[in-house]
Amino acid sequence: MSLRDQLRADAKMDSRRFGKSIVCRIVHGPLLSFIEQKGLIPNVILINNDTGLDPINNKMVVIPVSKYSQILELLQNYDVTVSQGLDVNDDTESFEKLLRINEEIIVAIQQNMILVTVSSVMPEGISAGVSPQLYDVLIDSIDVNQVIEAVYVHRTVRNLRETKKQWNNKK
C-alpha cells in the first residue's frame, strides 16, 4: 500500500469517527494538562487551561460528549495508579503495567480528540473563551480538506428562555 493510499484510508476513518453536528465537550483542566504533557497537540497552540481555547488562533481540543466521561475515568484511574507509585521493591511487572495503562489512555485520547476552530462570535463578548461548564461546541463542518469548524452551544437549557413572557404563563 502506497503512502497516498494509506493517507486516504486514514482520512476515511477520521471522517467516520467525527461527523457533522456532533456535540463535543471542551477539554480543559487536568485533562488538557495531560494532553499537553504527552505532546498530543502542536506546541504553537497555547490553550488557556480555564477556558480550553487558544484565543489567538481560536483553536480548541474537544471530545464527543458520549466519550468524555470515559476519558475522564481513564485519567482518574491513571492518576490513582501513579499516586500509589512504585516502591523500591517493585519489580518490572508493575512498571510495565504502569506503562501499558499510560499507552492505553494516550491511544484512547488520540482516537477521540479533535482540534477545531471556533468560528462563531464569543458569547457575551468574552475574547479569551467561555466557561466549559456552561457551553459545549457543535462541529459544523468536517470535510477532509477543510478546517474543522465548531460553534458554541449552551450545555443546559437553563437561562435559554424567559419564563415571564405572557405566552408562558398559565392561567
Expressed as residue numbers, the domain containing 144 is 14-156
pTM of the model: 0.73
Question: How do residues 58-90 score in pLDDT, each as one tens digit?
Answer: 899 999 998 999 999 988 888 887 777 655 456
Cell of 128: 479569551
Instruction: Report in angstroms the alpha-carbon separations of 68 from 7, 24, 25, 108.
Output: 27, 8, 7, 11
Query: Which pLDDT does position 60 carry in this prediction?
Result: 92
Q: For the chain, how many structural domains are there in total?
A: 1
Q: Which of 108, 107, 128 is nearest to 118 (CA)?
A: 128
In a domain, 24, yes or no: yes
In a domain, 164, yes or no: no
In a domain, 27, yes or no: yes
pLDDT band at 43 (very low <50, low <70, confident <90, very high): confident
Question: How do residues 111-131 score in pLDDT, each as one tens digit?
Answer: 899 999 888 666 555 667 788
